[in-house]
Structure formats: structure tokens, C-alpha cells
Amino acid sequence: MRAEIIAIGAELLGAQRTDTNSLYLAGELADLGIPLQRKAVLPDDVRELAACLAAACRRAEVVICTGGLGPTEDDRTVAAAARALRLPLVLDPRAERRLRLRVHRRGRRLYAADLRQTLRLQPARWLANRVGSALGQWCPTARGCLILLPGPPGELQPMFAAQVRPRLRRLAPPAALASRVLSVTGLPESEVDRRAAPLYRRVANPSTTILAVATPHVELHFRARATTRQRAQVLADTLARRVERRLGKAVFSREGHSLAEVVGAALAARGQTVAVAESCTGGALAAALTDEPGSSLFFRGGVVCYSNDLKVTLAGVEPSALAAQGAVSAVIARQLARGARQRLGADWGVGITGIAGPGGARRHKPVGTVFIGLCGPASPARARRYRFFGERGMIRRGAVQAALNLLRQHLD
Amino acid sequence: MRAEIIAIGAELLGAQRTDTNSLYLAGELADLGIPLQRKAVLPDDVRELAACLAAACRRAEVVICTGGLGPTEDDRTVAAAARALRLPLVLDPRAERRLRLRVHRRGRRLYAADLRQTLRLQPARWLANRVGSALGQWCPTARGCLILLPGPPGELQPMFAAQVRPRLRRLAPPAALASRVLSVTGLPESEVDRRAAPLYRRVANPSTTILAVATPHVELHFRARATTRQRAQVLADTLARRVERRLGKAVFSREGHSLAEVVGAALAARGQTVAVAESCTGGALAAALTDEPGSSLFFRGGVVCYSNDLKVTLAGVEPSALAAQGAVSAVIARQLARGARQRLGADWGVGITGIAGPGGARRHKPVGTVFIGLCGPASPARARRYRFFGERGMIRRGAVQAALNLLRQHLD
């Protein structure tokens, strides 16, 4: 059993609007255990639409159409569906009475065009709309059903929840779903896939998808189905564990958490705090650490010392070290980490200094060179050199992620 | 001449991710005068994909495919295109050399799977990728062309702009286009539309679209077409100017710049600098100011004083004022601004203190209450009270945007 979604409306083909209904429907279908196989967006052209609907109804058991059910000239979904399925349309007197009543209550007049909304595919059942005037339709097809829903999310969602979901549940194979997400950092997507592919490649259940969330953050999604939720979870977890063994410490979450959340939780669990001193990331590390609620538990504060004199006055960097090694160096990263820890009174200090570009490259220090320093309660400050690629934003995000990961590994 | 877009990737059929590339491409196609007729999202199944590609190439002159060009098991776009167009694939030795060089430079190994990225549709031309490893392809078809682009927007957009747009311009009907973008802050999208709609509603050329970029940042795009570029620009600018008169000082850019860019340029033009002291935004204001290259010209640095004692030691806030008024107050916002300016040696100081939530609400200070202080070279520090709505991230972004806007208005 499989589903397709067709979103109708010229406005969805412009540069501004995206089809958000399909996200809601995709989630609902996944919960029902009906895989979504295709989405399409079409303008309100009857001929095109009819061809697309006919093809979808040949391929899929469940075809959901959104939009084009209103009273205006460009609402042509019902006409297209009639043509696609070669079904007659009937004017429904009950629907007309309902519409007259509704229009009357609002003190408006009924126009002839409004009656388009009372045209029903002959074998279809109405889906009531408690919010707007456009009715939905549930029409049997040779393979399953065609479901016509109104475009506005505020009308579509309650209609689906109350009238479509229960009907689909009766059609869908009895199955429970469960998923597991592994979040990985420090490895490129291709390397994650090289290690994971031999394990998931020939496995259809659980299904596996690899998603590059941000440059240094890759997620593996495992979705399993079984007769009970518990069995599905065991299936997903078993494959995830096997993949995790291949990825080692690069996996930082099994629950879809961000790296900052994982670091925050580890600090909070130890009752420890962190402070940061940032140069090239300009506050982005502090912003990431304070993105989640409750960060005051583990985050003391930070200094953004973009200029060299502020590195001295705010973070206690030694002017002689700046002169000897330059601001982008391991020694300065260490001194920034130490300064953040001591001056802001935290258990851990992190220092970042680097060249985010596009300008600023030096001999042996190309754009993307970043030093990250870490200073903890037990051992002296240390620093690592990194090289990030891409434009300024990617380099900055890469440095923030690497700093969080460095701290995470020392908290493990 | 008409276009279709096919986005490939199982993750785009889930409940989480939507295909944003097609919005960018729709805008570009509109600029070229090529109407977009259909969008589809498909999983990485070669047979399905090939059928969909073949049908699209029969219907449309321009077919753009995004995603599925990488080195992993589920990257199957090229294979599907070969099957759809019945074209042979060739391993390209030049592309292989380029890939080896790239992998070598990053200190990684080349795996056999990586070589999938050097498979070219025989009659196609490569589209170079300056950011990632996956190459694009431009392949002639019976009706026009099939264009294969990589999925990550950071790779797709520069590739389109540099290599696809000029080629399509040669194919597209001759018409000159021009556009004007008004960027607005401090007004909700509905209010912007209420003021602008009477002016643009019945005007087809220029076309107008309203885009909510972020909570407090709305863009109005005016796109005009005419026989010459100059005439088109006059059309777009005339309508934009009429709309701008209705929006007043809420318009901060006519060139599509970000608020941070506008503020940075205004500071740089005056030869002045800014420093910040942040509490609830946790470094996000500093990060926004340093997002663009060249920020060292106008940005001195910042302190993130998340805890009360750091407000005292880092930003010179008076403990008595903290005790009397609480950390979330106008007096503390002023003292933070003054402290940032004086201690970091800048011409302007900005201070932010507030309740980003979800916890922390007090009597008369609900979640979303934020005070922003500003201290300049000429007058004493002042502060304004704001109220932002939504979840933590929206409140923080709103506060950053409001702080930038406050500074902008004083630089005008």
C-alpha cells in the first residue's frame, strides 16, 4: 500500500510559497504505516491535472489531492478528478441546502459560482468542513481511494484528523512504527555512508536515510515497522546499534538532540559550567550554547574578543604571545580558553581563534584555519588545529560544532 | 517554453523537510521569463525516477532535477536520467582527476563509490561545483535540456547562478527584467500587506510578492519586465517607491541587505565602532554583527553575561541596581550598553536583557519581555522595552533584530 500527494495551486509554483500541507500529511501517513511515494505540485489546469491524477491513481492505493475546491474560477480539482476517473458529477441538493444556510447566516448572497462547491463525484462521500465552505470528498478508485481536501491548513487538518484518518486506518495494514535517529559529527556525509551502507544497503525494514543537517552534522534515520511498536523499536534499535559500532565516538546522540543540547546535559549532570572566549566565531558558540532552555544551569558567559587588544583586556591573553605567534595560533587558543575559565569563573573554558574569511589568509594559515582551545578542572589547557572548507558561514558553523564536540569528548 | 522541477530524496517525502531549492529555482525561472509548470518530489528509486524524468522531458523544454548526485548508495539521479533518455554513461577521466585532487587535498582517501560522481551522460556537459564534490550536468534533450543539480542549496545556488542562468538566458524568450526588494522590520507581515496591497493588487507588471524572511523581517519583491532593462527598472522602482511611502522608516534596505549589513555599512561609513553586552540573546547579536566579511572594521567585541555576577564583573553593572530593579529592567539595559561601550572602547554600546523563556516569567514581566539599551558618543544611555511572542528562538531572533534596528535608527 502506498500513497501519493498532489498539491494544486499556481501560487505553490512561485518563489515564495511552499506546500506545507504535504509535511502534515506525510507525518500522518507515516504514523498509519502508509509510505509516501511521490509528491507533485501542479497549477489549476484541468487537462494536466486530470492526466496527473489518473497516473497517480494507477500507481498508488491512496491519492490525496489538496486545494482547488473553492468557488472561484481557478478551483478545478473536482472537474479534473471526474475526467481522470471517467466519473459523472452530480449536483448534490443536500450540500446546496447546507451552503445556502451558511451563506445566509453570514448575511451574504449566494452566487451561481458558489454552486460549484456542491458538485460531487458520483460514487464519492462528502467530507464535512467545520471551518470553511469547501467540502472534501472521499472517492473509491480501482486500487483504493482518491481523497480531495481543501487547501487551507486550518480546514485540511481537522478534516483529515476527524474523517480521513479513521477511514485510512481501516484500510492500512495493521502495523506499528518506530524510529531511531543517530546524530554524527566530525565525519563528512560520504564517510558516514561508506561505513554504514554495508549494514543497511540490503535491508528494507528498517528503512535508512542519511541527512546532512549542517556541514559537520549528519543524521541517520532508521524507521522500522512490525506488528507491535515494541518489536518495531527493537528492529530499529538493533540496526542503529550495529551502525553506531562502525561510527564510534562520532555519534553524539541517539535521540535527535543537537550537539549543544548533549554538551549542556553532560555539564548539567556533572554540576559543571562552561565559559567561552571567541574570536572568529563572533559569539556564535555562546549563542549555540544558550539556544536551548535551561542553559543558565551550565553556561556562565562569554567574551567576544574580535580585536587583539580585547583578547588581552577581556581574556587575559599575553601581548608577548600575540606578537610572537599571531592571534591565530595554538597558544592563543589555549590562553583564550584559560582566560574564559578563570575570568568568568567556570569549570571549563573554550577558546576559538581562526580565519573565517574571505580575507585574512596568511602563509601556512589559509582561510578556514581555526585553533580551538580547551581548559578543564583537571588538566592544563590544550589546543587543536582544524581546517574547515566553504564560505564564511560554513567555516564559522564548522568551528562552533568542532568546539562543542571537543568539549563533549572530554566530558564523556 | 516551460519548465518542470524534480526534487529527489527520500528525506523530502518525510514530515520534517521541505524542498526549498524549488523556491529559489522558481524565482530564477520567473526572472528568465520561463513559466514553471510542475514540481515533483520523488524518492531515490531508479525505475520511478526514470519514468518521471522521461515524462517531464516529453512535456517541458527545461527540466531541472535537484539532489541525488553524491557518492552514496542512494544517489541515483544520473543512472535514472540515463535510463529515461536512453543515453549511455561514460566515466570521465578529467572529472576523476579533479576528484582525486580534491580528496587528496583534504587528506582523505578516494573510495570506489566516489567514482560514481565522475559518471557523465554522454552528450552532457559538466557543471562545475566550487563548494562540494558533486558535479552538475547539462544534457540536451529532444525538446530542450535536462539539468542535474546537487541538492545542498549552498552548492546548487552558485552553480545555477554562474553556469545555468547564462545558458538558459540564451534559450529563453528575449525580455528584460528588473527587480527591487524592500526589506522591512518592526511590522508584521499582515500589516505590511494591509498597507501595500491597495497599491499592488491590480498590477500584473511589476509582479509583487511578500516574503516573511524571519519573524521581524519581511521582504517585498517587485519584479518587472519590459523591452529594455532600464524601462523594467523604472517600472519596478516606481511601484516600490509608492509602497515605501506607506511603510516609512520600517524599510531598512532597497537592495536586499540584511539589517546587520545595513548597520555595519552605516557604522563603517562614519568610521565608528560598536560593542555589545548580551544576556538573553547569549551572543546572537555579536554573531549577527560578525556574520558578514569585514566586520572587524566596525565591531569591537562583546560580552555575554548570562549570570548576574558576570553582569557586574564583565559589564560594570551596579549590584545595587540589580538588587533594586532586577536583571530584566531598563536601568540594567542602559548599564549594559554603557559598560560595553566604555569597557570595550567603542563609539556605540548595545545592551540586551530579557526573558527568552520558556521559564523565568515574573509579575508584570511575562516571557518575551526584553529591554534594549543603547549608548552613543553624543547623548546619555537610553533603553526601550519590547515584547516578543513565540518560542525561545523567535524571541531571541526578535530581540537581535530589534537591537540592530534601534542602532540603525540612531545612525540614520
Amino acid, single-letter form, for residue B55: A
A235-244, A377-386, B69-78, B382-391: least confidently modelled range: B69-78
Residues A151 and A7 in one domain: yes
- Kindly state whether B305 is in contact with chain A, defined as any CB-CB distance less than 8 angstroms: yes
Buried b (16+ CB within 10 A) or exposed e, A237-265: bebbeebbeebeebbbbeeebbbbbbbbb
CA distance B114 to chain A (A): 8
Cβ–Cβ gap B282/A286 under 8 Å? yes
Write out chain A residues lying below 8 Å of B282, CB-based: 286-287, 289-291, 295, 299
A41-50, A86-95, A296-305, B311-320: least confidently modelled range: A41-50
- Kindly state whether A297 is in contact with chain B, defined as any CB-CB distance less than 8 angstroms: no
- The residue among A101 and A40 whose pLDDT is bigger is A40
Q: Please say which residue of A253, A288, A319 terminates a domain.
A: A253
CATH number at residue A189: 3.30.70.2860
Write out chain A residues lying below 8 Å of B157, CB-based: none
ipTM of the complex: 0.74
CA distance B114 to B97: 12
| pLDDT beyond 70 at B16 | no
Cβ–Cβ gap A390/B131 under 8 Å? yes
Residues A221 and A286 in one domain: no
Write out chain B residues lying below 8 Å of A41, CB-based: 38-40
Cβ–Cβ gap B291/A392 under 8 Å? yes
Q: What's the pLDDT score for residue A74?
A: 67
Q: Please say which residue of A146, A171, A196 terminates a domain.
A: A171
Write out chain A residues lying below 8 Å of B63, CB-based: none
Residues A230 and A353 in one domain: no
- Kindly state whether A250 is in contact with chain B, defined as any CB-CB distance less than 8 angstroms: no
| pLDDT beyond 80 at A42 | yes
Residues B193 and B230 in one domain: yes
Q: What is the enclosing helix (H) or strand (E) of B323?
A: helix B319-325
- Kindly state whether B359 is in contact with chain A, defined as any CB-CB distance less than 8 angstroms: yes
Cβ–Cβ gap B70/A189 under 8 Å? yes
- Kindly state whether A133 is in contact with chain B, defined as any CB-CB distance less than 8 angstroms: no
CATH number at residue B303: 3.90.950.20
CA distance A122 to chain B (A): 29
Residues A248 and A141 in one domain: no
**A215 — pLDDT class (breaks 50, 70, 90):** low
* Long-range contact pairs involving A369-372 (C-beta distance under 8 Å, separation at least 24): A369/A328, A370/A280, A370/A328, A370/A395, A370/A398, A370/A399, A370/A402, A371/A328, A371/A329, A371/A330, A371/A332, A371/A333, A372/A333, A372/A399, A372/A402, A372/A403, A372/A406
Nearest CA in chain A to B31: A15
Average pLDDT of chain A, as a whole number: 91
- Kindly state whether B152 is in contact with chain A, defined as any CB-CB distance less than 8 angstroms: yes
Buried b (16+ CB within 10 A) or exposed e, A276-298: bbbbbbbbbbbbbbbbbeebbeb
Residues B61 and B150 in one domain: yes
Cβ–Cβ gap A197/B72 under 8 Å? yes
Residues B189 and B247 in one domain: yes
Residues A324 and A387 in one domain: yes
Residues B352 and B288 in one domain: yes
The answer to whether the CB of A352 falls within 8 A of the CB of A374 is: no
Q: How many domains does chain A have?
A: 3
Q: What's the pLDDT score for residue A79?
A: 94
Q: Report the SS3 class of residue A314.
A: helix
For B128-149, what is the mean pLDDT?
93
Write out chain B residues lying below 8 Å of A284, CB-based: 283, 287, 290
Residues B129 and B192 in one domain: no
CA distance A390 to chain B (A): 6
Q: What percent of chain B has pLDDT over 70?
A: 98
Write out chain A residues lying below 8 Å of B19, CB-based: 18
DSSP-derived secondary structure for A103-166: HHHTT-PPPGGGGGGGEEETT-EEE--SSSSPPEEEEE-SSSEEEEE-SSHHHHHHHIIIIIHH
**A128 — pLDDT class (breaks 50, 70, 90):** very high
- Kindly state whether A267 is in contact with chain B, defined as any CB-CB distance less than 8 angstroms: no
Q: Domain limits at B199?
A: 176-253
- Kindly state whether B290 is in contact with chain A, defined as any CB-CB distance less than 8 angstroms: yes
CATH number at residue A68: 3.40.980.10
A 204-223 residues inside an 8 A Cβ radius of B:
207, 209-212, 221
Write out chain B residues lying below 8 Å of A278, CB-based: 283
Write out chain A residues lying below 8 Å of B37, CB-based: 13, 42-43, 48
| pLDDT beyond 70 at B337 | yes
CA distance B308 to chain A (A): 10
Residues A101 and A44 in one domain: yes
**Residue that is written with C-alpha cell 581574556 in the block:** A315
Instruction: Establish, for the pair of chains A and B, how many residue pairs have beta carbons separated by less than 8 Å.
Output: 229
A389-398, B282-291, B401-410: least confidently modelled range: A389-398
Average pLDDT of chain B, as a whole number: 91
For the stretch B22-62, pLDDT in tens is: 989 988 888 788 888 999 999 888 999 999 999 999 999 99
Amino acid, single-letter form, for residue A406: L
**B351 — pLDDT class (breaks 50, 70, 90):** very high
CA distance A95 to chain B (A): 32
**A116 — pLDDT class (breaks 50, 70, 90):** confident
Closest to B393 (Cβ–Cβ): which among A52, A291, A305?
A291
CA distance A32 to chain B (A): 13
Cβ–Cβ gap B287/A282 under 8 Å? yes
Q: Please say which residue of B171, B199, B216 terminates a domain.
A: B171
For the stretch A279-326, pLDDT in tens is: 999 999 999 999 989 999 999 999 999 889 999 999 999 999 999 999
- Kindly state whether B382 is in contact with chain A, defined as any CB-CB distance less than 8 angstroms: no
Residues A107 and A22 in one domain: yes
The answer to whether the CB of B351 falls within 8 A of the CB of B388 is: no
CA distance B277 to B327: 13
What's the Cα-to-Cα distance from B149 to each of A217, A230, B65, rounded to whole Å?
Answer: 22, 41, 6
